[in-house]
Structure 1
Amino acid sequence: MTVNKPLADEKAVPRKRRTAWPAACTVTVALATALSACGGAAPAKTTEDGFAQAAQTDGAVTVWVDATRTAAAKQYQQLHPEVKLDIVSYDGDANGSNYLQTKVQLFNRTGKGWPDVVFSSQNNEVTWAVDAGFAAPLDKGLIAADTLGRFAKGANDVCTVNGTVYCLRNDLSQVVLWYDAPLMKQFGYTVPKTWEEYQALGQKVAAEHPGYLVGDAGDTFTPEIYLWASKCGANHITGPKAVSADTGGPECTKMAQLMDTLIKNKSMSISGVFSTDFAKNEKDKVLLMPGPAWYGGAVFHDTLKTPEKTIGAAPIPQWQGDSAPATGNVGGGTWLLSQHSTHLKAATDFLKWVTTDNAYQGEKAPGFPAYAPAAENWLKAQAASGYFDGDLGALKDASSQVWPGWGSAQFSQEAIWAATVKPGLTQGQTLVSLLPAWQDSIVKHAESFGYKVSQ
């Protein structure tokens, strides 16, 4: 049975963002030769496809992948025996390990060692990889506009710097409302369409079926589920080094008030869906659960062992009167092509195949593909698995509704939440009371990474 599973980095552990790479040996796209201090003279380069390209040679294409994407690289090799791949396994930058950036810094100094193509479990790699001269521009000739145009709306926003696309999104982690269909029917409840209905149902559940849950606020990615979907302006990336942070706006406070109400009556847990406590005490009590696309496999199928034909997916609720549907996003992954590649044709072919081809994305990928045509096939595969109750059409709709007012920066909102908000919630403080401290922490973290912050 094929069921959506999480990416290797997907949120079981808080992720830390990498620090900026020192500028002393920065290699930029415009340079035709490397600074001698960064590894000596480089071979002559030809400017094409928007960047200075290394001399092209024969040989193996070096592909760095995490454990989950190793199967994709091996599948490509089987289908393309004429292309030799050197498949290197690494952590995929899971949990913000900084491995890729650290290695690129070393390769830039020594003038050798860069992989041709690399997968990252992070959505913020271009915040350093462009300035470091590593990520190649893809929309200047390497990847056709028609192909780029078939990715889900906004999918490659995290890959775009000053209007240029520097990576391709592997999968989406759009938030939907997961629900236990048999329990909802047994209790006589209707899946809520608005946040107001959602809160009312949570209050009803607390009174009529104490112990059952309509959500969880115990994970470090909680703000990406609830506050992002509420259009809370806590993390609006307005430029390469600029962010707007306002946790006191109505979109933040009314969601915080909703969550406080449900946490207080215990219809919203603060344990965390991957915690031992949750799996032991609450796995059979989940009535509703806002969460990303990968919850279907990672949480319900793999962690909670929820029986088949139980879990369904519905659109995330919207605030009453809001005419522009919005949702959040938790995770996903990206593929980058190196400017230093000496096998650009083969490397680009692999990059396009691994992000768009049905052989992998449409049939075998563990997450919801960012490439829309492959996503259609992926949804059919999930339906054929027989695990879910009903179709997963809500995932398709949500894929183009991720609110663009929440971005991917070098600093980690999850780390900030883990250090500032989660301890307070555990100690019984209200989320509303913690909003000012959350904003103060965002500002300090952003400024430490060189961001100009407006409030």
Structure 2
Amino acid sequence: MTVTNPSVRQTRVLGKRRSALLAGCVVTVMLSAVACGGAGTGGAKTTKDGFAQVPQKEGALTVWVDSTRLAAAKQYQELHPDVKLDIVTYDGNANGSNYLQTKVQLFNRTGKGWPDVVFSSQNNEVTWAVDAGFAAPLNKGLIPEATLGQFAKGANDVCTVNGTLYCLRNDLSQAVLWYNAPLLKKFGYSVPTTWEEYGQLGKKVAKEHPGYLVGDAGDSFTPEIYLWASKCGANDITGAKSVSVNTTSENCTKMAELMDVLIKNKSMSISGVFSTDFAKNKADKVLLMPGPAWFGGAVFKDGLKTPAGQIAAAPMPQWKGDSSPSTGNVGGGTWLVSQHSAHLKAATDFLKWVTTDNAYQGEKAPGFPAYAPAAEAWLKGQAASGYFASDLSALASASSQVWPGWGSGQFSQEAIWAATVKPGLTEGRTIVSMLPAWQDAIVKHAKSNGYKVSE
């Protein structure tokens, strides 16, 4: 699946050597046009900022974004009318679609078409984008160290390969326990602080208030909320191409068992928070909902249209006796600059603005910013909005509690869960019964992507 772009390591060849190389390109039709003479570069490259840069020129900056980040690109255009943007919307690689990787493979073959800047909803793009010669290094001169140093601790770990930074994290998607404060009070319940209390509350809700929900297990990112928070070792990336997979450990099975009980008594939905069914039939039935930082706006406010003054956030429950608080993470997204960009100054200006400027991250962004100063402004803005029933300090605490034993490999855990476990839930099977099949699917996907697997 990974395409290596030889032009990253190539030096300019003169005279007969260049002619021979070009002749070879004609014969070997499968070689990349970029490798065979710098197609699309418009001239000789200059090594600067840690990579070989194509000649820079005037022209429109091509930015690829998903529908959610479209507002950011448009806002940048409004605030920078002197910069011409060509904004392209795509799926953002949602659910591991691999659209970006597939297109880059095509652009590498044809020697043209690469976007200057691209947003991805996935945190694993550098696992292929570096070898493909697409992602430009950012900490070799393009982005000031003073700027990079203000991102939240560990936020850009998923962007770093052998000490070189190849992308910037857009937002942190740490999971917390969202809850309906007035509804919880009306029913006489307390916010659970342990998973044991959470499970017991789910049983009480099913018995005393049938139809109301304490969670949802219907989305492809379900394991990133529940199993990740439980320290389930299903996805421990231990090296550049190595992963440890164990879905049947105690930390995995006890969370699966808890979820199975709640799914069976219907206090946990399997519809999915973005499904038509959920919005139509369950929007006003959510009592509790473990979920990432962006649930507050994208799910409750915009999706379910929950009225203001109801939704609050609490720390994710922990297992009794666990002295090391942990939570999961759903997405967050990353921004990359292309090594092929002929507009690097404009590209890096856009990148810095979209990840750090309060005009977007502090005031408009739907999720908790990865850039710490913007996160402070964002929290103040959420408090001032009047929408939430309490402050969102739980998000700030959770930002440093994402369990590091769940990595961002080249394969998509969301796609694997959607194909392996989700259909079984629809058929009435338990999560516990599907844990071995889930492990088998992860192992197969990892090996097909060249990973050495430890089970």
TM-score (norm 1): 0.90
- State the match for 2:454 in structure 1: 454
Q: Deviations over 1:53-96 (max 9, x none)?
A: 22233333322223332332233233334433333333333444
2:6 aligned with 1:27: yes
421-430 or 439-448: bigger deviation: 421-430
Q: Deviations over 1:201-221 (max 9, x none)?
A: 222222322322211112221
Contact 1:153 / 1:399 at 8 angstroms: preserved in 2? no
Structure 1 residues 313 and 31 mapped into 2: Cα distance closer, same or farther (>3 Å)?
same
- State the match for 1:5 in structure 2: none
Distance 1:290 1:68 in 2: 22
- State the match for 1:274 in structure 2: 274
Structural mapping, 1:228-239, within 5 Å: 228-239=228-239
Matching residue's letter, 1:138: L
Task: Kindly state the Cα deviation for residue 416 of structure 1 after the two structures are TM-superposed.
Answer: 1.7
73-82 or 343-352: bigger deviation: 73-82
Structure 1 residues 274 and 319 mapped into 2: Cα distance closer, same or farther (>3 Å)?
same
Matching residue's letter, 1:31: Q
Task: Kindly state the Cα deviation for residue 29 of structure 1 after the two structures are TM-superposed.
Answer: 3.0
Distance 1:27 1:78 in 2: 38
Structure 1 residues 274 and 92 mapped into 2: Cα distance closer, same or farther (>3 Å)?
closer
Which runs of no fewer than 5 residues in structure 2 stay unpaired?
A: 14-20, 26-31
Distance 1:327 1:60 in 2: 41
Q: Deviations over 1:419-445 (max 9, x none)?
A: 222232233322222211111111112
Structure 1 residues 69 and 278 mapped into 2: Cα distance closer, same or farther (>3 Å)?
closer
Distance 1:235 1:144 in 2: 33
- State the match for 2:202 in structure 1: 202
Distance 2:91 2:271 in 1: 27
Task: Kindly state the Cα deviation for residue 22 of structure 1 after the two structures are TM-superposed.
Answer: 4.1
2:433 aligned with 1:433: yes
- State the match for 2:129 in structure 1: 129
2:314 aligned with 1:314: yes
Which runs of no fewer than 5 residues in structure 1 stay unpaired?
A: 1-19
Q: Deviations over 1:147-192 (max 9, x none)?
A: 2221122221221122221001112221110101011111111101
Q: Deviations over 1:253-302 (max 9, x none)?
A: 11112112222332222222222332333222211110111211222122
Structural mapping, 1:178-257, within 5 Å: 178-257=178-257
- State the match for 2:18 in structure 1: none
Distance 1:428 1:56 in 2: 58
Q: Deviations over 1:374-404 (max 9, x none)?
A: 1111122222221110111111221222111
Distance 1:367 1:180 in 2: 19
Structural mapping, 1:49-448, within 5 Å: 49-448=49-448
Distance 2:380 2:206 in 1: 36
Distance 2:71 2:248 in 1: 45
Matching residue's letter, 2:326: A
71-80 or 358-367: bigger deviation: 71-80
Q: Deviations over 1:212-271 (max 9, x none)?
A: 221111222110110001110001111222111001111111111211222233222222
Contact 1:28 / 1:131 at 8 angstroms: preserved in 2? no
- State the match for 1:8 in structure 2: none
Matching residue's letter, 1:317: P
Task: Kindly state the Cα deviation for residue 450 of structure 1 after the two structures are TM-superposed.
Answer: 1.7
SS at match of 2:360: helix
Structure 1 residues 33 and 244 mapped into 2: Cα distance closer, same or farther (>3 Å)?
farther
77-86 or 137-146: bigger deviation: 77-86
Distance 2:214 2:363 in 1: 32
Matching residue's letter, 1:21: T
The counterpart of 2:37, out of the listed 31, 37, 41, is 41
* Larger Rg belongs to: 2
Runs of 4+ in 1 over 6 A off after TM superposition: none
Task: Kindly state the Cα deviation for residue 112 of structure 1 after the two structures are TM-superposed.
Answer: 2.7
SS at match of 1:192: coil
Distance 1:419 1:114 in 2: 31
Contact 1:32 / 1:44 at 8 angstroms: preserved in 2? no
410-419 or 220-229: bigger deviation: 410-419
Contact 1:27 / 1:131 at 8 angstroms: preserved in 2? no
Distance 1:184 1:334 in 2: 36
SS at match of 1:64: strand
SS at match of 1:78: helix
Structure 1 residues 33 and 178 mapped into 2: Cα distance closer, same or farther (>3 Å)?
farther
SS at match of 1:352: helix
Matching residue's letter, 1:265: N
- State the match for 2:17 in structure 1: none
Give the length in aligned residue pairs.
434
146-155 or 303-312: bigger deviation: 146-155
Task: Kindly state the Cα deviation for residue 28 of structure 1 after the two structures are TM-superposed.
Answer: 5.3
Distance 2:373 2:333 in 1: 18
Contact 1:27 / 1:108 at 8 angstroms: preserved in 2? no
Distance 2:141 2:342 in 1: 16
Matching residue's letter, 1:289: M
Structure 1 residues 337 and 203 mapped into 2: Cα distance closer, same or farther (>3 Å)?
same
Higher relative contact order structure (alpha carbons within 8 Å, sequence separation ≥ 6): 1
User: % of aligned pairs identical?
Assistant: 79
Matching residue's letter, 2:344: L
Contact 2:95 / 2:220 at 8 angstroms: preserved in 1? no
